[in-house]
Structure 1
Amino acid sequence: MINLACWNTRGLNSTPKQSEVRKLLLDYNISLVCLIETRVRINKKTLVANSVFKDWDMIDNYNSHSPGRIWVGWDPRILNITKINETDQIIHCNACILDTNNQFRISFVYGSNDDRLRKALWQSMCSSQHGSPWIMLGDFNVSRSVGESIRGCSRISGAIEEFNDCLQSLELDDLRFSGFLHTWCNKRSNGCISKKLNKVLVNNDWLLKFENSEAIFLPPSIPDHCPSVVKLGLQGIKKNRPFKIFNFLTDRVDFLPLVDRCWQEQVHGTM
């Protein structure tokens, strides 16, 4: 099984944070990781990257933002990653699992904390190609609903509506997940605020290709963001299963009328 990860480390220059990242990669057998808000200047990039990734390949978005807001490292023995394009808030890539040749698109996001600047992120997302398995993970810096915030926004804001409109047009939704719901906390003893800012989003093609995939939001350690781990879960072999019914149900006098009434109902929807 191939595992991916994403973590807003809020800086990566310190040795303890580098150790925390290496521990995450080792403990969860990670083959690809996206590190956000590294705050590593380009002249220190090689030194820090060698400490964290060792013999892995790496891409970043220094050309669009300095210091690099988004780092992506992966094991070239397992995956092949090709960058499609980048902005200061997102990197779009094509990915291929080498031993199975399963291919998909993957996007790494670090949204601005300015609502106005995030509009450019939504535009970049909506201009991306459709029609293949697609996963998008990162820190979007906005929640999808009021329920994803504690002592934060108490109403549906324009920023939330814009985010949801973008996801609806792209037909992206949260991947099944477990662990922490609120992935960021300001860690204040007075006026504590928690929100779900970190997300793993997928389209329907992804669910068909990787039907057993799931995300886990782990407890935060040194940074104030929870790391996310995605277990890919390749599509399993489906077995034919017989239709079963409890025979005693057919003895009920309302059984046949109920079946007939249900069959007459018009169902509207999609597959």
Structure 2
Amino acid sequence: MNGKIWIFAEEGDNFEIESDTEQLLHGRYFSPRLARHVYISVVYAKCTRAERYALWEKMREISHMPEGYPWLIGGDFNTILSPRDRVGSDTNRQAEMVDFAEAIEDCRLLDPGFDGADFTWAKNGLFERLDRILLSEAWSPLFDATRVSNLPRISSDHGPVLVRCKMRNDQNGGRAFRFQNMWTRHEGFIGLVHDEWSQPRGPWECSTSKLSSRELKRP
């Protein structure tokens, strides 16, 4: 609709648009390598808080899709989520951060973390993380790992964000355990770990659960 969001798919894959608004392009992505389609939303948010209200409501609307479908949403949200996402200005943006955080919580989205540059946008001494990737809870089981990298800025004030997903390999009848950093951001994570750690175990398991914190941190 706004002429500023482009999606390219390699030959043999397909992207079917389901919703096209001024700030978000949403649809289903199909690939022969995937057992099922996934939902992808690409964002190019407006510059003012009032204009972004429509984006947050659209995200909430999309989140009501049938439960269990993998959903990735990312792009330029044009706002920060935390004071740590900004350097070079002390302007109070608390209200904008609350708007964004509430939308993420209502949609039950998770931040998978990132490597690379701390900030994705820079201008006149101001640095901000305006671009990010968010995932639904159903995204993680589809892939062995999802890695987000903030790449260097070259010819724009924004830096590209690269997402790489490692396909699952079930041919050997099992998978190695992989810890997902985004689990730690779930509100029930600490409670779940505490409950599981407190459960009675067999003789060998009991002995390992009594290791001191120093021993657990030992390489």
If the length of structure 2 is used for normalisation, what is the TM-score? 0.74
Is 1:95 the counterpart of 2:32? The answer is no
Is 1:69 the counterpart of 2:9? The answer is no
Instruction: Mark the CA change 1:240 to 1:207 in structure 2 (over 3 Å): closer, same or farther.
Output: closer
Partner of 1:125: 59
Which of 217, 221, 235 in structure 1 is aligned with 2:150? 217
Instruction: Mark the CA change 1:88 to 1:233 in structure 2 (over 3 Å): closer, same or farther.
Output: same
The superposition leaves residues 119-145 of structure 1 with CA deviations (integer Å, 9 ceiling, x where unpaired) of 000011111133210001100000100
Q: CA deviation at 1:73?
A: 1.5
Instruction: Mark the CA change 1:74 to 1:157 in structure 2 (over 3 Å): closer, same or farther.
Output: same
Q: CA deviation at 1:156?
A: 5.2
- Quote the Cα distance in structure 2 between the aligned partners of 1:100 and 1:113: 36
- Quote the Cα distance in structure 1 between the aligned partners of 2:175 and 2:165: 21
Question: Aligned letter for 1:164?
Answer: A
CA RMSD of aligned residues (A): 2.5
Which of 194, 211, 214 in structure 1 is aligned with 2:127? 194
Q: Would the aligned equivalents of 2:81 and 2:100 in 1 still touch at CA under 8 Å?
A: yes
Partner of 1:56: none
- Quote the Cα distance in structure 2 between the aligned partners of 1:151 and 1:240: 43
Identity %: 23
Instruction: Mark the CA change 1:175 to 1:240 in structure 2 (over 3 Å): closer, same or farther.
Output: closer
- Quote the Cα distance in structure 2 between the aligned partners of 1:87 and 1:144: 23
Partner of 1:264: none
**Higher RCO, 1 vs 2 (CA within 8 Å, ≥6 residues apart):** 1
Partner of 1:231: 164
Determine helix, strand or coil for the equivalent of 2:97: helix
Aligned length: 179
Bigger Rg, which one: 1
Once the two structures are superposed, the pairs formed by residues 99-114 of structure 1 within 5 Å of their partners are 99-114=33-48
- Quote the Cα distance in structure 1 between the aligned partners of 2:52 and 2:30: 29
Which of 102, 115, 136 in structure 2 is aligned with 1:165? 102
The superposition leaves residues 171-193 of structure 1 with CA deviations (integer Å, 9 ceiling, x where unpaired) of 1122232111110000x2xxx11
Determine helix, strand or coil for the equivalent of 2:18: strand
Instruction: Mark the CA change 1:153 to 1:141 in structure 2 (over 3 Å): closer, same or farther.
Output: farther
- Quote the Cα distance in structure 2 between the aligned partners of 1:203 and 1:227: 21
Question: Aligned letter for 1:218?
Answer: L
If the length of structure 1 is used for normalisation, what is the TM-score? 0.61
Which of 17, 26, 29 in structure 2 is aligned with 1:83? 17
Segments of 5+ residues of structure 1 without an aligned counterpart are 1-60, 259-271
- Quote the Cα distance in structure 2 between the aligned partners of 1:111 and 1:226: 16
Once the two structures are superposed, the pairs formed by residues 27-46 of structure 1 within 5 Å of their partners are none
- Quote the Cα distance in structure 2 between the aligned partners of 1:125 and 1:199: 15
Q: CA deviation at 1:197?
A: 0.3
Instruction: Mark the CA change 1:218 to 1:86 in structure 2 (over 3 Å): closer, same or farther.
Output: same
Segments of 5+ residues of structure 2 without an aligned counterpart are 178-201, 213-219
